[in-house]
Structure 1
Amino acid sequence: MSTQNSAIVSSGVAVSRARLGSGLAFLGVLAFSGSFPATVLAMRGFDPWLVAIGRAVIAGVVALVCLRVARLPLLPPRHLWPSYALISAGVVFGFPVFSGLALSMGATTAHSAVVIGLLPAATAACAVVRAGERPRPVFWVACTAGAVAITLFTFTRGTGGAAWADLLLVLALLSAAVGYTEGGRLARSVPGWQVISYALVVSLPVTATVSGFLAFSTPISLSAEALGGLAYVGLISMFLGFVPWYAGLALGGIARAGQVQLTQPLLTLGWAWVLMGERFGWITVAAALAVLVCVAVTQRART
Structure 2
Amino acid sequence: MTTQHAPPATLAGAPSPGAAGRAAPRLQARELRGLWLGLLGVAIFALTLPMTRLAVGTPAAPQLSGVFIALGRAVVAAGLSIAFLLATRAPLPRRGDWPALALTAAGVVFGFPLLTSVAMRYVEAVHAAVIIGVLPLATAAVGAWLHRQRPSAGFWACAGVGSLLVVAFALLRSGGSTLLHPADLLLLAATACAAVGYGWGARLSQTMRAEHVICWALVLALPLTLPLTWLSRPQAPVAAPAWWAFGYVAVFSMWLGFFAWYRGLSQGGTVRVSQVQLVQPFLSMLFAVPLLGERLDATSLGFALAVIATVFVGKKMPVHPTHRPPSKETA
Q: What letter corresponds to residue 16 of structure 1 in structure 2?
A: A
Displacement of 1:110: 2.6
Q: Distance in 1 between matches of 2:249 and 2:159?
A: 27
> Deviation of residue 153 (structure 1)?
4.8
Query: In 2 relative to 1, CA 196–3 (structure 1 residues): closer, same or farther, beyond 3 Å?
Result: same
Q: Give secondary structure in 1 for the equivalent of 2:151.
A: coil
State whether structure 2 residue 99 is matched by structure 1 residue 86: no
CA displacement at 1:155 relative to structure 2: 5.7
Q: 1:108 aligns with which of 110, 121, 124?
A: 124
* Structure 1 residues 226 and 289: alpha-carbon distance in aligned structure 2, compared to 1, 3 A threshold: closer
Counterpart code for 1:42: A
What corresponds to 2:323 in structure 1? Answer: none
Structure 2 residue aligned with 1:49: 67
Q: Give the Cα separation in 2 of the matches to 1:77 and 1:220.
A: 44
State the alpha-carbon separation in 1 of the partners of residues 41 and 160 from structure 2.
Answer: 22
Q: Secondary structure at the match of 2:290?
A: helix
Q: State whether residues 113 and 154 of structure 1, in contact with CA within 8 Å, keep that contact through their aligned partners in structure 2.
A: no
Aligned residue number for residue 186 of structure 2: 168
Tell me the residue number matched to 1:34: 47
1: CA distance, partners of 2:174 / 2:47? 18
TM-score under structure 1 normalisation?
0.90
Match of 2:134 in 1: 118
1:96: which partner in 2?
A: 113
Cα offset, 1:237, TM superposition: 0.4
The CA deviation at 1:135 is 1.3
CA-CA distance at 1:102 after TM superposition? 1.4
**Residue identity in the other structure for 2:93:** P
Is the CA contact 2:144–2:270 (under 8 Å) kept in the aligned structure 1?
no
Give the Cα–Cα distance (whole angstroms) in 1 for the partners of residues 183 and 301 of structure 2.
27
- Larger Rg belongs to: 2
1:154 Cα deviation after fit: 6.0
Contact 2:74 2:225 in 1 (8 A): yes
CA contact (8 A) 1:88 1:199 kept: yes
Q: How far did residue 15 of structure 1 move?
A: 1.9
Q: Verify the 8 A CA contact 2:132 2:188 in the aligned structure 1.
A: no
Match of 2:242 in 1: 226
| Structure 1 stretch displaced more, 1-10 or 26-35 | 1-10
Q: Work out whether residues 110 and 158 of structure 1, in 8 Å CA contact, stay in contact via their aligned partners in 2.
A: no
* Match for residue 250 of structure 1 among 266, 273, 283: 266
CA contact (8 A) 2:210 2:262 kept: yes
Q: Given that residues 56 and 207 in structure 1 are in contact (C-alpha distance below 8 angstroms), is that contact kept between their aligned partners in structure 2?
A: yes
Instruction: Select between 149-158 and 49-58 the one with higher mean Cα deviation.
Output: 149-158
Please name the residue that 1:19 is paired with. 32
Structure 2 contact 265–274 (Cα < 8 Å) conserved: yes
Q: Does 1:9 align with 2:22?
A: yes
Q: CA deviation at 1:113?
A: 2.0
Displacement after TM superposition at 1:283 (Å) = 4.5
User: Counterparts of 2:297 and 2:181 in 1: how far apart (Å)?
Assistant: 27
Bigger Cα displacement from structure 2, 40-49 vs 151-160: 151-160
Residues 66-89 of structure 1: CA deviation (Å, up to 9, x unaligned): 11111224x533321101100000
Compute the displacement of 1:292 (Å): 4.0
Q: In the comparison of the two structures, how many residue pairs are matched?
A: 299
Please tell me the root mean square deviation across aligned C-alpha atoms, in Å.
2.3
Equivalent in the alignment of 1:298: 314
- 1:266-285 matches, within 5 Å, as 266-283=282-299
Q: Deviations over 1:266-287 (max 9, x none)?
A: 1111111010112224445544
Q: Per the alignment, do residues 115 and 285 of structure 1 end up closer, same or farther by CA in structure 2, a change over 3 Å counting?
A: closer
- 2:158 is the alignment partner of 1:142: yes
SS of 1:134 mapped into structure 2: strand
Report percent identity of matched pairs.
37
Instruction: Give 5+ residue unaligned stretches, structure 1.
Output: none
Given that 2:38 and 2:265 are in contact with CA atoms closer than 8 Å, whether structure 1 keeps it comes out as yes
Q: CA distance change for structure 1 residues 110 and 270 in 2, over 3 Å: closer, same or farther?
A: same
2:251 to 232, 235, 246: 235
Q: Which residue of 2 aligns with 1:264?
A: 280
| Cα offset, 1:101, TM superposition | 1.2
Q: What is the CA distance between 1:148 and its match in structure 2?
A: 3.1
Distance 2:22 2:312 in 1: 23
Q: What TM-score do you get using the length of structure 2 for normalisation?
A: 0.83
Counterpart of 1:189, as a letter, is T
- Secondary structure at the residue paired with 1:222? coil
Deviation for aligned residue 1:223: 2.2
The superposition leaves residues 121-151 of structure 1 with CA deviations (integer Å, 9 ceiling, x where unpaired) of 0111111222212112221122122333444
CA deviation profile, 1:180-218 (whole Å, cap 9, x unmatched): 000011111212110000000010111011111222xx4
Larger helix proportion of the pair: 1
